[in-house]
Chains A and B, each alone.
Chain A
Amino acid sequence: MNNLIEKNIDRKEFLKIAGTGLSLFMLESLLTKVNADEILNNINKSVKRYAMVIDLRRCIGCEACTIACKIENNTPLNYSFNKEKNITWNEVIFKESGNYPDTKKRFWPRPCQHCENPPCVKVCPVNATYQDKERGLVLQHYDRCIGCKSCAVACPYGARYFNWTEPKWAEERKGAFNPDVELRYKGIIEKCTFCIHRIKKAELKAKQEEREIKDGEIIPACNLTCMGKARFFGDLNDKESIVSKLIKENSDRVYVLEEHFGTKPKVFYLKS
């Protein structure tokens, strides 16, 4: 119980609290500092390695990214009474700590981490979820998914969502869906794609114009809407990309979520 010892919690007291279903945790254990050089030196220029950087100093927890994602990706209406069955590709996680008056509230957005070593991909029996090696993304073939939910169980970030019933949308949304994003249906898993449709559009445009994709040309919906400009997207294999530069320039505060699972996530948090 190294973490617990660090937190100076008496074991006996801890057992007592935990036994009743309650426990104390520090927030910081979730984020692990990573070595920026290791991330940036492992470059293969023949493929893309799309990643996201989220500057927590700039994030104000407004959840505009969550809403933008829902609109962009045609995810269904959330239940107010049954949040465990909601589909929210980009959740903003809120954590409160301390006791009044010394309290803190922190938050960080959590899209799919598009891990380089994704546990969800390994367990899928029918290759419905797969790693797009050309772009370094974890994507989903909806028409293959058998709905076994093993990827949802395997994901340590809770980034995979099952359609427990036929999706429902508000009346106003019908007829106003994003035509670039396929609608999902009952019995399959879905998740954040880093707005793959936008990536493909940019790739097509670049191809037609016979040029390389420029850094900053691809902007996922969550990045576009972020009022604090906290989110950045780009190719880690390009040393000049905004994400590579941010990681390099802020190497002392580059963190990833739950690194101990060995998933090598590609969403990097610049800690406040």
Chain B
Amino acid sequence: MKIFKNLNFTLLTILSILILPGIFYGIIALFGKNDIFGANNYIPWTILIATYTFFVSSIGCCFVGSLNNVFGIKKYAIIETKAIFLAIIIVLTGMAVIFVELGQPFRIFVQYVINPHITSPIWWMGVNYSIYLIFIILEFVFIISNRAHFARLAGIFAFIAAVAAHSTVGSVFGVMTSKPLWYGPYLPIDFILCAWLIGFSIMILITSILNDKNYSSLINEMSKWLIVLLFLNLFFIFWKVITGLYSGEEDKYFGILALINGPISFKFWVFEIILGIFIPVILLSKKIKTRFIFIISTLLAIVGMFVNKLNMVHSGQIIPLEIRRPEQFEFIKINITLPEISIITAAIVFVILSYYVAEKIEILKPKEE
């Protein structure tokens, strides 16, 4: 908590100001027009969809938070409240991002209820996340009010709902038969792996910033898990690339080519692989690890995961539809606009500010047994 008390008002003001452009563009998108974003009819889903999938991957904080409450691993109790709080606030922020991205977002509240479509993963995603939010908020309330039994019960349901909800996000892409790079059971599984990875990264980052000696052994343990998860992620990416290169489906093959040797290859190799996986693994494998190393390596892993989602969304759609593909085709141009960057910045800053306030009012302190 010391670190937050040392934060000065100027820094807080700057952070608050950073939210304003995002709010401004969010309002324009909600009530004005959607063409402030880089998406178009050739590539309907772009960076805001990637941002949403990244933010809701923070469901991994719920996984980490459940290690004590659900699986009985006691040492995780000291970060439980922080993890659960972050799992709530980041998922809600992600939902705010997707809300802004939708064409007619206010219709969701009515249409989801009166016209449900059970074959649609997006409908299930909404339902599962709603259930998840109910249980995880209950879990949080029970934890801070010291009602351990109810907290455990709510935690179990929140964990089940979290797995269901987040794998459904993967299935939103996984059921797209017209996008061979996405289609199949890989993405729902991959999304769960990424959620664990992001969950551990965020919790190591937060506990390292807080710089409390009570966390040091837990940080070490979590960093070992993070190394395993980073390797698993690399393993998944490796086989995705190899199987894609052997694919007879042109969309899949060229999607992978775009990733490894095309317009998104820089983001893939530099941000997703080198900075997002190799550097954190190297740093975290050192025998003597400083607080700085933990902060840098987890920040890089988080950035790597964001770029992973971005590349996933883009590589699936970067090949022009076969019907529109001329004899000599070019990959579809990806546009990232200032409003999109402003909204993403606002979302990140909002999460930081929310966490700061929560720490300041001391609701995230670990509870006594």
Task: Tell me if B141 counts as interface (CB < 8 A to partner A).
Answer: no
Interface pair B327/A24, CB less than 8 Å apart:
yes
From residue B48, how far is it (CB to closest CB) to chain A in Å?
11
Interchain CB contact under 8 A, B322 and A156: yes
A122 touches B262 (CB 8 A): no
Task: Report which of A21, A85, A189 forms a contact with B263, defined as CB distance below 8 A.
Answer: A21
Within 8 A of B (CB), among A146-182: 146-150, 152-158, 160-166
| Proximity string of chain B (171-194) to chain A, C-beta cutoff 8 Å, 1 when within and 0 when not | 010011111000000000000000
Q: B40 and A144: CB pair below 8 A?
A: no
Provide the residues of chain A in CB contact with B32, threshold 8 Å. 165
Q: Hey, what's the 0/1 contact readout for B20-51 against A, CB within 8 Å counting as 1?
A: 00000000000011110001111111000000
Take A144-B107, A153-B44, A187-B34 as given contacts and tell me if A30 and B120 are in contact as well, using a CB distance cutoff of 8 Å.
no
Q: Which of B65-73, B87-95, B121-129, B228-236 lies at the binding interface?
A: B121-129
Q: Quick one: given A144-B107, A146-B103, A162-B44, are A125 and B33 in contact (CB under 8 Å)?
A: no
* Any A CB within 8 A of the CB of B325: yes
A93-138 residues with Cβ-Cβ distance < 8 A to B are: 93, 95-97, 110, 119, 122-128
Nearest residue in A to B127 (C-beta to C-beta)?
A: A125
A84: min CB distance to chain B, Å? 4
Which size class do A's interface residues fall under? 35 or more
Q: Which of chain B's residues have a CB closer than 8 A to the CB of A122? A: 119-120, 175
The answer to whether A262 has its CB under 8 Å from any CB of chain B is yes
Select one of B43, B107, B117, B322 contacting A127, CB under 8 A. Answer: B117
Within 8 A of A (CB), among B100-125: 102-105, 107-108, 111-112, 115-117, 119-123
Q: Tell me which of A157, A187, A257 contacts B104 (CB under 8 A).
A: A187
Residue A86 at the B interface, CB < 8 A? Answer: yes
Q: List chain A residues, Cβ under 8 A from B120.
A: 122-126, 150
Q: Name the one of B42, B172, B254 contacting A18, with C-beta atoms under 8 angstroms.
A: B254
Cα A34 to Cα B321 with chains together (Å): 21
Instruction: Please give, as numbers and ranges, the residues of chain B lying within 8 Å of A147 by CB-CB distance.
Output: 34, 102-105
Q: Any chain B CB within 8 A of the CB of A186? A: yes
A100 shortest CB reach to chain B, Å: 13
Q: Taking the nearest CB of chain A, how far is it from the CB of B45, in angstroms?
A: 6
Cβ–Cβ contact A149 & B105, under 8 A: no
Contact B328 A23 (CB under 8 A): yes
In Å, the complex CA distance between A23 and B253 comes to: 12
Chain A contacts for B263, CB-based, 8 A: 21
Whole-angstrom distance between the alpha carbons of A82 and B33 in the complex? 16
CA distance A150 to B172 in the complex (A): 8
Report yes or no: B176 in contact with A153, Cβ–Cβ below 8 A.
yes
* A153 cross-chain contacts in B, Cβ below 8 A: 44-45, 176, 178-179, 317
> Does B261 interact with chain A (Cβ within 8 Å)?
yes
Q: Does A72 contact B (CB under 8 A)?
A: no
Contact partner of B262 among A19, A125, A187, CB < 8 A?
A19
- A30 CA to B117 CA, complexed, in Å: 31
Within 72-96 of A, Cβ neighbours of B (below 8 Å) are at: 82, 84-87, 93, 95-96
Q: How many residues of B contact A (CB 8 A)?
A: 56
Give bound CA distance, A262 to B180, whole Å. Answer: 13
Query: Which residues of A are found within 8 Å of B218, using beta-carbon distances?
Result: none
Given contacts A125-B122, A126-B123, A188-B103, contact A164 B178 (CB under 8 A): no
- Report yes or no: B248 in contact with A152, Cβ–Cβ below 8 A: no
B309 → chain A closest CB, angstroms: 16
User: Are the CB atoms of A96 and B103 closer together than 8 Å?
Assistant: no
- Closest chain A residue, CB of each to CB of B251: A156
Minimum CB–CB distance from B241 to chain A (whole Å) comes to 13
B324 lies within 8 A of chain A by Cβ:
yes
Q: Nearest Cβ distance between residue A52 and chain B, in whole angstroms?
A: 16
Is residue B221 contacting chain A, with contact meaning CB distance below 8 A?
no
Q: A145 with B104: in contact, given A154-B177, A158-B324, A262-B177 (CB under 8 Å)?
A: yes
Separation in Å of the B143 CB from the closest CB of chain A? Answer: 33
Say yes or no: A144 contacts B115, CB within 8 Å: yes
Closest Cβ neighbor of B98 among chain A residues: A148
B341 within 8 A of A: no
Measured CB to CB, the nearest residue on chain A to B245 is A15
Q: Is the CB of B41 within 8 A of A155?
A: no
A152 touching B102 in the complex, CB below 8 Å, given contacts A93-B323, A96-B326? no
Contact of A146 among B43, B44, B107, B325 (CB under 8 A): B107
Report the Cα distance A117→B212, complex, angstroms. Answer: 58
30 A-B contacts (beta carbon < 8 Å): A1-B247, A1-B248, A15-B261, A18-B253, A18-B262, A19-B261, A21-B331, A22-B330, A23-B329, A25-B325, A27-B327, A95-B327, A96-B327, A119-B177, A124-B117, A125-B111, A125-B123, A144-B111, A146-B103, A148-B102, A148-B122, A153-B44, A153-B178, A156-B322, A156-B323, A158-B42, A158-B324, A163-B103, A164-B40, A189-B103
Q: A25-B327, A126-B120, A165-B35 are in contact. List 8 more A-B contacts (CB 8 A).
A: A23-B254, A97-B327, A124-B120, A125-B117, A144-B115, A149-B45, A164-B34, A261-B177
Q: Which residues of A contact B (CB under 8 A)?
A: 1-4, 15, 18-19, 21-25, 27, 29-30, 82, 84-87, 93, 95-97, 110, 119, 122-128, 144-150, 152-158, 160-166, 186-189, 257-258, 261-262
Partner-A contacts on B (CB < 8 A)? 32-35, 39-45, 102-105, 107-108, 111-112, 115-117, 119-123, 126, 172, 175-179, 247-248, 250, 253-254, 257-258, 261-263, 317, 321-331
